[in-house]
Amino acid sequence: MTTIPPIPPHGEHQTPEERRQFAQRFIIDARQELETGNRLQAGEKAWGAVAQMFKIAAERRGWQNHSHRLVRDIGFHLLAAYPEYSSAELNLALFDAFDKGHRNFYENWSSPDEVTAVVEDIEMFLPVLDTLASADMRPFVITSRSQLNNLRNLTDNDGLQMGDRSDVGFSLRHQPGGNGSGGPAMQPDSQ
């Protein structure tokens, strides 16, 4: 029998471990919702598990993460910054969790089999998402419009440009000119 993690206490800030508990609980809840035929709730719970893992990554980096769009942007950026974890299967699982899980909650267009696949895929990829959420920040160069838009949203910095680089990853704490909390400044890529 699976032990259901407790719901962490409410508060303005959740620790990474509390977010991991939420993610595990959401997957268990999603399975239970599938058993009762509630595919709308099951898909939303699977997306909720993904969102909790992405919020861990965002909070470690000082990124904004208070909307569904920002949570989606976090996922896009993590896959760009850590390509060794990116795969066609993971990308599809994340897209399906958002589309056939979260959006289906509002639109009711996904079949029971599609939602079951979403729950199973997210459960399978949860350890990878945890690894991504816990990964150390690393240098990053903005090389595409989508990366630029995602980072502008996540860092609330409309001044970012194509070719900008950060030796510690872009965040609210590490802004151009070194005015963050002691981190290296972001600079245009000189290559």
Would you list the domain boundaries of the chain? 16-134, 140-188
Residue 109 sits at the vertex; the CA angle it makes with 150 and 36, to the nearest 5 degrees, is 110
* Of the options 1.20.120.330, 2.40.30.10, 2.30.40.10, 1.10.357.10, the CATH number for the domain spanning 16-134: 1.20.120.330
CB half-sphere exposure, 104, CA atoms < 13 A:
26
Per-residue pLDDT of the chain (191 residues; tens, 9 = 90+): 567 777 777 777 889 999 999 999 999 999 999 999 999 999 999 999 999 999 999 999 999 999 988 999 999 999 999 999 999 999 999 999 999 999 999 999 999 999 999 999 999 999 999 999 999 888 999 999 999 999 999 999 999 999 999 988 888 766 554 333 333 444 444 33
Buried b (16+ CB within 10 A) or exposed e, 13-50: ebebebbbbbbbbbbbbbbebbeeebbbbbbbbbbbbb
Is the pTM of the predicted complex or chain greater than 0.75?
A: yes
